[in-house]
Amino acid sequence: MTHEELKAKALEQLEVAEEYNKLEEEFSLLRQMLAARQQAGMTQADIAQKMGTKATAVTRLESSLSSGKHSPSLSTLRKYAKAVGCRLEVTLIPEQ
């Protein structure tokens, strides 16, 4: 069974789908961060150096978004964005 097949099977369960959907904002941000890092051609160690921290901190930052167990500060996200040549933009979108 592939990862996508396993994911599809798990998401058939209502409780699993609800919990998964709660993490969509974190997953979206993580995808953007990883894409920006790749676009910049940087490693976690490169970003850490620009942020003035250790590579393990960048690893924790990226992995925390996929686990939903930690919400990084805007200051940390701003530093990450600057390190990869981006700016951070936070937008509130009205519920429909």
What CATH number is given to the structural domain containing 28? 1.10.260.40
The 10 Å Cβ neighbour count of residue 16 is: 13
Within a domain: 77: yes
For the segment 10-30, the average pLDDT, to the nearest whole number, is 86
Within a domain: 93: no
pTM of the model: 0.80
pLDDT by residue (tens digit) across 44-96? 999 999 999 999 999 999 988 877 677 899 999 999 999 999 999 999 989 88
Within a domain: 92: no
Does the pLDDT at position 18 exceed 80? yes
Domain, as residue range, for 45 = 3-83
Which pLDDT belongs to residue 19? 81
Within a domain: 76: yes
Number of domains in the chain: 1
Contacts by residues 12-19 (CB-CB < 8 Å, ≥ 24 positions apart) = none
Which pLDDT belongs to residue 82? 97
